[in-house]
């Protein structure tokens, strides 16, 4: 048996554009997805904090250093430019494995890298 755990996330980025007639996906600045330990073509869950929508799609590389977060294809109808999103990827592990701490990427209001941290549980 496997369990699904958070592998990495980009926290509270802003949608910078949307392309409805594109085939699909989310375009992300490589500086951001690489800092979170994510990869092109990897499946991600995108949660829109403005409207509550959740969608699964895959990453395609944007222009490095641009801060771009672009919803493409039909999923572009689930967000507007300026909406705040959390982009998460997951991994499967066995229940007896230690859960590796996921990378959490924090950005500023222009989606520029502000902080990267290992996302850990609070001490008990």
DSSP SS3 for 90: strand
pLDDT computed for residue 61 by the predictor: 98
Cβ atoms within 10 Å, residue 1 = 5
User: Could you tell me the mean pLDDT of each successive run of 10 residues in the chain, 124 residues long?
Assistant: 97 98 94 98 98 98 98 96 99 93 97 95 75
**110 domain-assigned:** no
**111 domain-assigned:** no
**65 domain-assigned:** yes
Altogether, the residues listed in the chain come to a count of: 124
Using an 8 Å Cβ cutoff, are 39 and 33 in contact?
yes
**118 domain-assigned:** no
Domain count, the chain: 1
Angstrom distance (rounded) from CA 35 to CA 8: 9
pLDDT computed for residue 99 by the predictor: 87
**20 domain-assigned:** yes
pTM of the model: 0.94
Identify the domain containing residue 12 by its residue range.
Answer: 3-95
Q: What is the CA radius of gyration of the chain?
A: 14
Of residues 5, 12, 8, the one with CA closest to residue 95: 5
Maximum separation of any 2 CA atoms in the chain, in Å:
49
CA distances from 11 to 23, 85, 97, 105, 106 (A): 25, 7, 26, 6, 5
Which residues are tagged catalytic? 25, 58
Of residues 35, 11, 29, the one with CA closest to residue 85: 11
CATH number at residue 57: 2.40.40.20
**7 domain-assigned:** yes
**41 domain-assigned:** yes
């Amino acid at each position: 048996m496997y369990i699904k755990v958070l592998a990495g996330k980009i926290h509270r980025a802003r949608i910078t554009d949307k392309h409805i007639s594109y085939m699909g996906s989310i375009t992300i600045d490589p500086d951001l997805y690489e800092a979170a330990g994510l990869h092109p073509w990897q499946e991600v869950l995108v949660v829109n904090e403005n409207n509550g929508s959740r969608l699964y799609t895959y990453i395609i590389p944007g222009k490095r250093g641009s801060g771009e977060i672009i919803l493409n294809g039909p999923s572009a109808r689930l967000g507007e430019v300026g909406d705040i999103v959390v982009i998460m990827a997951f991994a499967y592990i066995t229940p007896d494995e230690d859960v590796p701490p996921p990378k959490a990427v924090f950005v500023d209001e222009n989606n520029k890298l502000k902080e990267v941290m290992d996302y850990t549980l609070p001490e008990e």
